Amino acid sequence: MFLKGNFLYTPSQTEFIILEKQYIQIEDGKVLGFFQDLPANTASSDVVDYGDDIIIPAFTDLHIHAPQYINRGLGFDEELLPWLENYTFPTEGRFSDTDFATRVYRVFLSRLKAEGTLCFSAFATIHKDATWQLMKIAEDMGLKGYVGKVNMDRNSPDYLLEDTERSLADTEELVLRSREELDRIRFIATPRFVPSTTEKLMTGLGRLCETYDLPVQSHLSENRHEVEWVRELHPNLPSYTAVYDAFGLLRPHKTLMAHAIYLSDEEKRLLKEKDVYLTHCAQSNANLTSGIMPLRENLTKGLTCTIASDVAAGHTPAMNKQIALTIEISKLYSLNHPTEKALTIGEGLYLATKGPGRFYGNVGSFEKGYDFDALVIHMDDSIEGLERTPSEKLQQFIYDGDDRNIIARYVNGNKI
Ligand code: GUN
Ligand code: FE
């Protein structure tokens, strides 16, 4: 199969490739290569021509809370801990009702797909049955990614407080069932964050991760009060990061930690050593007055960072808007931090496509052998004399585009 159009992609943080009016060849769902002209005797039924439109890798969002979708935009006059207590926990409690959960998850996943996030890593809730529905619906919709049943057995309201053994047993059941029945959606261990997981639960999860070689996702150093609380809960461990490490929850190349704002040099050394992915949630961190992660400093130090939405603390799942906001905040931050060069548009695209896609596999680029997961974007430039270049179209889509501009979505070479 061949697609014709203007292709833009980022093989690395510093490379931004623009191929105008080319053909991409796709076989078995993967990119084979680009051609200036169609190879001789290609059947016309084998070619889709997208004309002047641009084609980019689909977005990957490695930190999003599926149940919180219904809360986006709510409660932002509070900081993290009261926001969790007053808004988030009561909402997540409702997911004990699997029918309700199924309805919400359908709407949530349809929105992700509409916005072009075709690969993701989501937190569900503590509820096993509702989590399974999220996994199953995502698989059936043709999306790819990770889903985790949240584990919490301390400092939580009684309706979200799990029995430790039960929490581990439910987790294991979902690991096994998803391996049996699903293909593109995988299970990820999901301790909510240190304050809501006992040492016994973290130990058990660390063991499950070993046994099944699971990836892990959680939250790290998001808010000053939260960091202080972790210090009080674990006075014998040197840092928040060290707590996860002590329980085998910093798995090399397989761990996602959201926020990571207030880190010591030693914590950064450890996170780099384990190649933990720091999922940077700029919009969430602004909404909950959490702080600003020194993105440039972290990237320069060789830490792996990605752009993520953190819905509902981030108010939109649209990754183009998350890229724009991350760049805007990095510019303001650079004013008072002269070594913090602002993020560029190419870097923003990378941190929302191949950067996070690497966590899943060969995802997020159009290099040979990559899964062809793509968005075809039409930006209207029909006003005479206002024709835009492919790069300009991408910039305008990132800043002011929405799902109406995405006219086709592909996963593994199939239009979904
Ligand atoms: N820390 C623990 N749970 C959460 C959550 O649901 N959202 C955010 N932003 N931070 C958390
Ligand atoms: Fe989060």
Rg for the chain (alpha carbons), in Å? 21
222 close to ligand 1 (CB < 6 Angstrom): yes
pLDDT digits (tens, 9 = 90+) for 293-308: 999 999 999 999 999 9
With the most atoms of ligand 1 within 8 angstroms of its CB, the residue from 76, 79, 88, 197 to mutate is: 88
So what's the pLDDT on residue 45?
Answer: 86
So what's the pLDDT on residue 384?
Answer: 77
160 close to ligand 1 (CB < 6 Angstrom): no
Which residues of the chain fall short of a pLDDT of 70? none
Is the Cβ–Cβ distance between 352 and 323 less than 8 Å?
yes
Q: Which ligand is nearest to the CA of 226?
A: 1
268 close to ligand 1 (CB < 6 Angstrom): no
Q: Residue 141 C-alpha to ligand 1 middle, in angstroms? A: 26
Q: Which ligand is nearest to the CA of 279?
A: 2
Q: Which atom of ligand 1 is nearest to the CA of 284?
A: 9
Q: Residue 291 C-alpha to ligand 1 middle, in angstroms? A: 14
92 close to ligand 1 (CB < 6 Angstrom): no
**What is the 3 state secondary structure string of the chain?**
CEEEEEEEEEEECCEEEEEEEEEEEEECCEEEEEECCCCCCCCHHHEEEEEEEEEEECEEEEEEECHHHHHCCCCCCCCHHHHHHHHHHHHHHHHHCHHHHHHHHHHHHHHHHHHCEEEEEEECCCCHHHHHHHHHHHHHCCCEEEEECEECCCCCCHHHCCCHHHHHHHHHHHHHHHHHHCCCEEECEEECCHHHCCHHHHHHHHHHHHHHCCCEEEEECCCHHHHHHHHHHCCCCCCHHHHHHHCCCCCCCCEEEEECCCCCHHHHHHHHHCCCEEEECHHHHHHCCCCCCCHHHHHHCCCEEEECCCCCCCCCCCHHHHHHHHHHHHHHHHHHCCCCCCCCHHHHHHCCCHHHHHHHCCCCCCCCCCECCEEEECCCCCCCCCCCCHHHHHHHHHHHCCHHHEEEEEECCEEC
So what's the pLDDT on residue 83?
Answer: 98
So what's the pLDDT on residue 338?
Answer: 85
315 close to ligand 1 (CB < 6 Angstrom): no
* Cα–Cα–Cα angle for 109, 27, 146, rounded to 5 degrees: 30
With the most atoms of ligand 1 within 8 angstroms of its CB, the residue from 192, 284, 293 to mutate is: 192
pLDDT digits (tens, 9 = 90+) for 343-367: 999 999 999 999 999 999 999 999 9
So what's the pLDDT on residue 216?
Answer: 98
Q: Which atom of ligand 1 is nearest to the CA of 195?
A: 2
